[in-house]
Amino acid sequence: MNLALIGLVVGMALGFAGYFGGFAAFLLVAALGVVGFVAGRLLEGDIELGELGDLLRGRDRHR
């Protein structure tokens, strides 16, 4: 699946959540999407837990 198609599916899911569930459902779906994205990146090995912690704290590990 290419990135454009994934973006389309995510946009449609957020649109349906916003239309049928209101703004709170929209925010919930968006937040869970971010959690799923980060979990997928961790499982694929694109990021490591140490890098994620540094990123959240605002530190740059590559200096």
Spell out the domain ranges in the chain.
3-57
At 19-51, the pLDDT tens digits run 999 999 999 988 988 888 888 888 888 878 887
- By the 10 Å C-beta count (0-12 exposed, 13-18 middle, 19+ buried), 5 is classed as exposed
In whole angstroms, what is the distance from residue 7 CA to residue 20 CA?
20
Look at residue 21 in the predicted model and tell me its pLDDT.
93
pTM, entire model: 0.66
In whole angstroms, what is the distance from residue 55 CA to residue 52 CA?
5
Look at residue 62 in the predicted model and tell me its pLDDT.
60
Q: What is the average pLDDT across 13-18?
A: 90
